């Protein structure tokens, strides 16, 4: 794959109930990304957004984000998945050879609608809804329990992941304030409200308000814009079956295959040795464990034993990850931005030492049905 440069990015501070409107938030992110690259509106040749009609409370939600989202009189389109999938679309536009600068933005305001209630309607109307109310949280409960049972892992071990991410988030000024806690303990996580046993409140990546934006450019153009772009050298994506009962929930086949595709593209043979850090979209603490196993960063069943602290063997979610704030449609995009910050050495307060190659991932669906993985590399 030809490498594509990340030449600018911007993420707004995440809030559980932001005191400003969607337009301003989108504008802040988009204008911020363009300013970070020292560019102008006219430099954008293609604009891709990631929002969701339901989350925005409006049909064809990108029709009203044209002005603030940089889509005015531009080649514009929308992805209704995760922000990381919108980056794939932007990347393809660049790789098509027809565009010099691709703007990708995504996010929404979870304070405006009942997120987890909306996800009740993700289940099958014919087969599942009449039988039981299952939403993303219940599904996460299914998956976490299946994982614990298979490998004899304790709930405390999963709670430790939430502790690590919430501690990391406390060092990230843009993370959600409610998720930032430098003194959190495993007991706090286990004692928090039970959402769907065994999943507790603090293991959940809390849906919040936020938007992020990213600029992509082909290699030559990227070097004209900035001296130190971050390169996307590989991408992989995969989707597994819809029905939870058809899957082996103790692992993520789609993440494994997405990882394989991305590693092949980037020429990575041994991710354990070659990857310096990972930023995952873990909607629940246990997903981080399952993802690191699927990507071969650690052996199967050993995910909770990996030292994934900022100064650990393979730092995972040094920014706090999705548990540090989860604006629907923006979270995966923020993971890419956070990985890029690490490779540029700009992750002030949570910088991983000597970070050269990173993984960033996005997802959508119950128990991360669909995964997308990026390999990012720093330096010229």
Cis status, amide bond into 166, omega within 30 of 0: no
For other proteins, which stretch binds (CB under 8 A), given 132-140, 280-288, 298-306, 313-321?
132-140
Q: Are 303 and 289 in contact (CB under 8 A)?
A: yes
294 binds other proteins (CB under 8 A): no
Among positions 63, 98, 133, 380, the unique one binding other proteins when judged by CB under 8 A: 133
As measured in angstroms, the least distance from the Cβ of 374 to other proteins is 24
379 binds other proteins (CB under 8 A): no
- Give kind and range of the element (H or E) at residue 260: helix 253-266
347 binds other proteins (CB under 8 A): no
Among positions 196, 216, 255, 375, the unique one binding other proteins when judged by CB under 8 A: 196
141 binds other proteins (CB under 8 A): yes
As measured in angstroms, the least distance from the Cβ of 127 to other proteins is 6
Among positions 32, 301, 312, 345, the unique one binding other proteins when judged by CB under 8 A: 32
- Beta strands across the sheet bearing 230-239: 75-79, 46-50, 102-109, 209-218, 4-11, 230-239, 370-377, 357-364, 277-279
Q: Hey, is 168 helix, strand or coil?
A: helix
Backbone angles phi, psi at 43, to 5 degrees: -75, -20
114 binds other proteins (CB under 8 A): no
For other proteins, which stretch binds (CB under 8 A), given 207-215, 241-249, 287-295, 321-329?
241-249
Q: Which of 293, 294, 337, 291 is nearest to 318 (CA)?
A: 337
Residue 317, burial from CB neighbour count under 10 angstroms (0-12, 13-18, 19+): buried
**CA atoms 81, 84, 85, 87: torsion sign:** positive
| # of chain residues touching other proteins (CB under 8 A) | 51
**What are the structure tokens assigned to 313, written together?**
């063997």
Residues 67 to 106: which contact other proteins by CB under 8 A?
none
Nearest residue (CB) to other proteins, 162 versus 277: 162
Q: Hey, is 215 helix, strand or coil?
A: strand
249 binds other proteins (CB under 8 A): yes
- Please tell me the distance from the alpha carbon of residue 5 to that of residue 380, in angstroms, as a whole number: 10
Among positions 146, 203, 215, 235, the unique one binding other proteins when judged by CB under 8 A: 146
267 binds other proteins (CB under 8 A): no
Find all residues with CB under 8 Å of 112, minimum gap 6, and list them.
Answer: 55, 57
Residues 33 to 72: which contact other proteins by CB under 8 A?
34-38, 40, 54, 57-58
Q: Which of 171, 169, 147 is nearest to 158 (CA)?
A: 147
Give the binding site for other proteins (CB under 8 A). 18-21, 24, 27-28, 31-32, 34-38, 40, 54, 57-58, 123, 125-128, 130-134, 137-146, 149, 194-199, 241, 243-246, 249
């Amino acid at each position: 794959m030809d490498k594509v440069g990340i030449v600018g990015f911007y993420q707004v501070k995440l809030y559980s109930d932001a005191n400003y409107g969607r337009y301003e938030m989108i504008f802040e992110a988009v204008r911020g990304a363009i300013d970070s690259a020292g560019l102008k509106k006219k430099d954008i040749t293609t604009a891709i957004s990631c929002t969701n009609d339901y989350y925005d409370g409006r049909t064809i939600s990108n029709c009203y984000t044209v002005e603030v989202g940089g889509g005015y009189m531009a080649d514009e389109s929308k992805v209704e998945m995760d922000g990381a999938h919108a980056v794939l679309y932007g990347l393809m536009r660049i790789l098509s050879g027809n565009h010099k600068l691709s703007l990708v933005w995504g996010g929404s305001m979870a304070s405006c609608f009942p997120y987890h209630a909306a996800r009740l309607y993700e289940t099958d109307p014919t087969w599942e809804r009449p039988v039981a109310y299952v939403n993303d949280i219940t599904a996460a409960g299914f998956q976490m329990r299946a994982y614990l049972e298979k490998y004899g892992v304790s709930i405390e071990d999963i709670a430790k992941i939430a502790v690590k991410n919430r501690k990391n988030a406390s060092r990230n000024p843009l993370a959600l304030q409610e998720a930032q806690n430098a003194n959190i303990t495993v007991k706090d996580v286990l004692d928090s409200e039970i959402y769907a046993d065994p999943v507790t409140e603090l293991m959940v990546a809390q849906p919040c308000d936020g938007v992020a934006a990213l600029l992509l450019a082909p290699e030559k153009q990227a070097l004209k814009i900035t001296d130190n772009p971050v390169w996307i050298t590989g991408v992989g994506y995969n989707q597994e079956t819809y029905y939870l009962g058809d899957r082996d929930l103790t692992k993520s086949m789609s993440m494994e295959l997405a990882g394989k595709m991305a590693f092949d593209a980037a020429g990575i043979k041994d991710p354990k040795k070659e990857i310096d850090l990972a930023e995952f979209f873990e909607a629940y603490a246990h997903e981080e464990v399952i993802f690191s196993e699927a990507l071969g960063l650690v052996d199967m069943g050993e995910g909770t034993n990996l030292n994934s602290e900022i100064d650990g063997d393979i730092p995972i979610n040094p920014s706090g990850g999705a548990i540090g704030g989860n604006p629907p449609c923006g979270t995966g995009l923020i993971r890419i931005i956070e990985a890029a910050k690490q490779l540029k050495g700009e992750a002030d307060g949570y910088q991983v030492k000597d970070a050269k190659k990173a993984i960033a991932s996005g997802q959508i669906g119950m128990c991360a049905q669909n995964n997308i993985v990026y390999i990012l590399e720093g330096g010229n």
